[in-house]
Structure 1
Amino acid sequence: MAHYLDTAQREDIARLRERFTGRTEWPTWLLLLGVYAAWPTLVLVSPSLGVWPTTSLMILLTVLWMSLQHELIHGHPTRWSWLNKCLGYAPLAVWYPYTLYRDTHMQHHRDEHLTVPGMDPESRYLSQLRWAQTAAPMRLLRWLDKTPPGRLVFGVPLALGSLLIGESRRLWHGERQAWAMWATHGFFLVLMFAFIEHYSAFSSVHYLLLVSVPALAISMVRSYYEHRPAEHSHQRTAINEASWPWRWLFLNLNLHLVHHDLPGLAWYHIPIVYREGRAQWVARSGGFLVPGYGELFRRHSFSPIDSPQHPHV
């Protein structure tokens, strides 16, 4: 538990975990059951529901699924990582195998390396050397990626391009873990796409391009200004007081500093802990408080929020 919390705060968190909800983790189990029931149901009813209503609901469900995978990675709803992996392995979001997401995300949680290119696998910043070597068209894309509309449009291609390059290198060098991971992920993708082709009103290509890509783009709204390259590591992570639709889709990860400081805290406990110590969390963040995602769109749709070049590396 975070070292700076006082005794009363530690006791409050311990009590939350000892309550029925904390012990049983029923909210996470309920969401898991809901997603696993809703996804095939949407596929099966899509011929009567219609392609575009189904597509819209599938996008939202896939965003929620990615948030649920994040909870599984952090030890919810069980403390057995192998069981959480089984629960979260379904490739509903297509692009990132669960194992890859788990390993890179846990590396991202080394807070002393947050935002540092080459050390934080989720950093969107480029080192000064890399920036100097970047061609003008790619520099423009990186600048556009620093606006919310640009993140929605270009965030996914940039992320998937980086994924393709990195994983191709691992496969080229014969890393057995990478080959096994992608073979397993590919096998389940084939099964999922076959189910879609047989029962759905749309094709697997439609799902790939018009469900999984928009879902990934929406999830990148959360990460748009989630971290900054501040001097102190605990001031690099944002607190975003987002409205309820975003909080629901992202399972309260908008209160990101609370999550980074207490990574084992369940999604349904994060708002409680934040509300009870809001002033302390804001002070700890160094004032890195965002009043909602809408405010980011209003202020930075035509003005990059910061530079894609890391200021210190």
Structure 2
Amino acid sequence: MPAYLDAAHQRHINHLLGTWTARSDWPTWLLLLGTYAGWLGLVHASPHLGQDLTLLLLVPLITLWMSLQHELLHGHPTRWPWLNKGLGYAPIALWYPYTLYRDDHLRHHRDSELTRPALDPESRYLDRHAWDRSSPAERGLHWLNKTLYGRLLVGPALALGSLCGGQLARLRRGEAWGMWLCHGAWVAVLLAYVQAHGLAIGTYLLASVLALALSMVRSYHEHRPATSPEQRSVLNEAGWPWRWLFLNLNLHLVHHDLPGLPWYYLPRVYAARRDDWLRRSGQFRVGGYGELFRRHGWRPIDSPRHPWHSGARP
């Protein structure tokens, strides 16, 4: 338990973690079973629903699956990592092997390195050298990626391009072959399965790209450069559709401080000490994703160049 929490807050959290709900983690089990059932139902019903409607329904379901994978790698619904890996290994979202996502995301939880290029695997910033080497067109893309609509348009391409570049370099060094061969085989099985049941592979690929874009609404302003690590993670007081889709990760500072807390208790812990959390975050608060769309739909939220590498302080 983090040392900054007072005794009453620690007792509250320990009480929640000691409940039968947390010990059995039945909400995560239920959501996991429902997501698998929903995916199978959509694939089998696709000839009746049509390609367009199936695509429309698949996008939020695949986005939810990515949120669920995040819960699994953080130790839910079981305390056995190998079992959680088995439960979340299915490449429903296609692009990222579970093992790669798990390892990179757990490195991302080194809060002292948050947002720092080359140290934080999920950083959306460039260091001085990368910025200086980039062309005007590349800089334009990174500035566009700092707007929310731009993130939806170019974010998936930038993310997948970075994934390909980094992983091809690993493969050339003789690394990660087992992970990618296994992942590729399961992707081939999944695509053959959806095609055999009447869903076009192209439709599924498009759904996966659109789901990746939708997930980037959450990560758009999830972190910022700040001197204190606890002031780098946002508290986004989002509405219920977004909270469900992202499994309450909009309350991102609470998650980073308490990564073992299950998704369904994040709002309760935040609400119990909202003012304390806001003070801890340095008032890094957003009033919902609608606020971000209104203010930063086409206006960059900050610079794509990380400020610390230019000698400036945040």
TM class by shorter chain equals: over 0.9
Q: Is the 8 A contact 2:51 2:203 kept in 1?
A: no
Deviation at 1:72, TM superposition (A): 0.2
Gap runs ≥5 in structure 2: 310-314
Distance in 1 (CA, whole Å) between partners of 2:71 and 2:298 is 34
Report matched runs for 1:117-196 at 5 Å: 117-175=117-175, 178-196=176-194
2:252 to 248, 253, 256: 256
Distance in 2 (CA, whole Å) between partners of 1:301 and 1:33 is 35
Are 1:294 and 2:290 matched, yes or no? yes
Q: Is the 8 A contact 2:51 2:200 kept in 1?
A: no
Report matched runs for 1:265-304 at 5 Å: 265-304=261-300
Deviation at 1:17, TM superposition (A): 1.1
Distance in 2 (CA, whole Å) between partners of 1:132 and 1:187 is 39
2:212 alignment counterpart:
216
What secondary structure sits across from 2:262 in the alignment? Answer: coil
Q: Which amino acid in the other structure matches residue 242 of structure 1?
A: A
1:47 alignment counterpart:
47
1:246-283 deviations in whole A, cap 9, x for unaligned?
00000000000000000000000100000001000001
1:210-238 deviations in whole A, cap 9, x for unaligned?
20000000001100000000111110000
Report matched runs for 1:1-12 at 5 Å: 1-12=1-12
Q: Which amino acid in the other structure matches residue 134 of structure 1?
A: S
Q: Which amino acid in the other structure matches residue 277 of structure 2?
A: W
2:99 alignment counterpart:
99
1:203 to 200, 205, 212: 200
Distance in 1 (CA, whole Å) between partners of 2:242 and 2:192 is 32
Deviation at 1:302, TM superposition (A): 2.2
1:309 alignment counterpart:
305
Deviation at 1:2, TM superposition (A): 1.4
Q: Which amino acid in the other structure matches residue 162 of structure 2?
A: S
Q: Which runs of 4+ in 1 moved over 2 A?
A: none
Q: Is the 8 A contact 2:243 2:249 kept in 1?
A: yes
Deviation at 1:172, TM superposition (A): 0.6
Moved more, 115-124 or 45-54: 45-54
Are 1:68 and 2:68 matched, yes or no? yes
1:46-99 deviations in whole A, cap 9, x for unaligned?
111121111111111100000000000100000100000000000000000000
2:312 alignment counterpart:
none
Deviation at 1:205, TM superposition (A): 2.1
**Percentage identity across aligned positions?**
59
TM-score by length of 1: 0.98
Distance in 1 (CA, whole Å) between partners of 2:281 and 2:92 is 34
Distance in 2 (CA, whole Å) between partners of 1:219 and 1:239 is 17
Deviation at 1:36, TM superposition (A): 1.1
1:110 alignment counterpart:
110
Q: Which amino acid in the other structure matches residue 184 of structure 2?
A: G
Gap runs ≥5 in structure 1: none
Are 1:247 and 2:248 matched, yes or no? no
Aligned length: 309
Distance in 1 (CA, whole Å) between partners of 2:270 and 2:204 is 37
Deviation at 1:128, TM superposition (A): 1.3
